Structure 1
């Protein structure tokens, strides 16, 4: 399989550090959330993961409808990602994700079919399958 895209991001200092992409477009401070005892004055890895997953999943919704009669446009899909972190029972931690997907211009049955297809196509969904519990909620608008 040939690689379609690659990027490099460097994180320094862990959860209280910085993250910067090789092109400098991503350049931000990180902070431990207040709920975990930190200052909470900057973004954190779970927010970044949620943003990436939501954006990627939204594009997967658009992608799987490209050859269908009803094509989903950029502004027709909204994905809200909720990322949770919990102890995994063996001294580490695990993530969970809830994706709340709303698609405009289709009925509920069509929206559910599109979301199911998007979950098969999305690189994030494929990467986490079997490792992270992902709950999908679908709404037609």
Structure 2
């Protein structure tokens, strides 16, 4: 089965202008971030890639925990991206996920098993697989 996603975008002006993107639940202004000498309006590709990788990891982790019969209240995730600029060319280098399980009810679960689940979620995530070989993704 193939799932189709469609985005409509519009950009006006040059590099330091801004645009919009729209699709289903996503509707945002976009521009280059201030940290990269842009106007910093709305979101940007770096935030969106980090957001895609993080939400994919979070959903995949929840699904694997559920299939492993690990009961919990919630998952908190802090993700950080590192983008390196060399000679004016930005390159997305690394994403680091730092998940925390809140309210773990399955006390027989060992830290080692939870760590294996954390790693399995990263390797199973569709976005992690899509960027594999280009962006390093690690889990703390």
Distance 2:30 2:110 in 1: 40
Aligned ranges 1:32-47 → 2 under 5 Å: 32-47=32-47
CA RMSD of aligned residues (A): 2.3
Distance 1:53 1:78 in 2: 15
Which residue of 118, 125, 129 maps to 1:122?
125
Please, which runs of 5 or more residues in structure 1 have no aligned partner? none
Which of the two has higher C-alpha Rg? 2
TM-score, normalisation: structure 2: 0.78
Deviation digits for residues 93-138 of structure 1, max 9, x if unmatched?
321211111123155323211111101211011111111111211x
Distance 1:102 1:116 in 2: 13
TM-score, normalisation: structure 1: 0.77
Residue aligning to 2:84: 86
- Offset, 1:34: 1.2
Structure number with higher strand proportion: 2
Q: How many residues align?
A: 130
SS in 2 for 1:130: coil
Please, which runs of 5 or more residues in structure 2 have no aligned partner? none
1:64–1:121 Cα contact (<8 Å) kept: no
